[in-house]
Amino acid sequence: MPVKVKIKFSDGVTKESNIFQTLGFDSKYNLRVLEDRLYVYDASDMAIFDDQPATDYDYNPMFGNQAKSKLGIFYGALFLTLVIELLTGLIFLKTKKKPLIILIYLALANFISLPTLWFLFPLLPISSHNLIILLGELFVVIFEILFLYLFCRKHLTIKEIIILIIIANLLSYWLGIQVWTPIVN
């Protein structure tokens, strides 16, 4: 749901912000008071250097006014996740002497699960970001286990799939936090 900030100042002047919407699990916003308006922007957005509000063309109901920067962060996270999980999968499969074609299915599972985690889970009517993260990560792990089981059960046992997915997701979650937290904050 798009949101606006409206503030009435002590001199009786009322100012409204641009339309924005929270996207990330731990979104942080800055409020900039300009002479004729308020401007809300993502704390990680470079719009801090721009005195102009986003135009209607820039606004996207899913991503708010920071559509371009949010998508850039998402694509970076997707790339990082794929690199980490595919390297983990490669090491696992080589160690177990399993066919490397399984990496294609691991990548496909990530192309489905990560956008779901990033773009659908934040829309849940849950106020706790930590709970959304927990539910989202549980969804990702369960989905990827079921996906690999559906397509790779001829090559991997359910136990091997569970081990692979849990290790890959723990590594990508932990390394993702290490890499992206300094970038977006």
- Residue carrying the six token digits 């074609």: 101
Whole-angstrom distance, CA of residue 183 vs CA of residue 66: 15
Among 15, 32, 65, give the residue marking a domain's end.
65
Whether residues 126 and 36 fall in one domain = no
Statement: residue 65 has pLDDT above 60: no
Whether residues 143 and 84 fall in one domain = yes
Q: Who wins on pLDDT, 50 or 152? A: 152
Whether residues 82 and 160 fall in one domain = yes
Whether residues 111 and 139 fall in one domain = yes
Whether residues 24 and 113 fall in one domain = no
Statement: residue 24 has pLDDT above 60: no
* Own/partner pairs, 114-120, CB within 8 angstroms, 24+ separation: 114/77, 114/78, 114/81, 114/140, 115/74, 115/78, 116/140, 116/143, 118/24, 118/74, 118/77, 119/23, 119/62
Q: Considering only 49-53, 138-142, 172-176, which range has the smallest mean pLDDT?
A: 49-53
Among 12, 33, 65, give the residue marking a domain's end.
65
State the average pLDDT over residues 98-121: 95
Among 17, 36, 65, give the residue marking a domain's end.
65
Whether residues 126 and 173 fall in one domain = yes
Q: Considering only 19-33, 104-118, 143-157, which range has the smallest mean pLDDT?
A: 19-33
Q: Tell me: the pLDDT tens digits for 142-171?
A: 999 999 999 999 999 999 999 999 999 999
Structural domains counted in the chain: 2
Per-residue confidence band for 126, with pLDDT thresholds at 50, 70 and 90? confident
What pTM value is reported for the model? 0.66
Tell me, what's the pLDDT at 176?
A: 87
Whether residues 47 and 85 fall in one domain = no
- Which DSSP category does 55 fall into? P
Whether residues 73 and 104 fall in one domain = yes
Statement: residue 16 has pLDDT above 90: no
Whether residues 32 and 93 fall in one domain = no
Per-residue confidence band for 13, with pLDDT thresholds at 50, 70 and 90? confident
Tell me, what's the pLDDT at 26?
A: 56
- Identity (one letter) of the amino acid at 100? L
Tell me, what's the pLDDT at 67?
A: 46
Whether residues 46 and 94 fall in one domain = no
Mean pLDDT of the chain: 79
Whether residues 96 and 24 fall in one domain = no
Whether residues 59 and 101 fall in one domain = no
Four-point Cα dihedral 157, 159, 161, 163, nearest 10: -150
Task: Show the domain range for 53.
Answer: 1-65
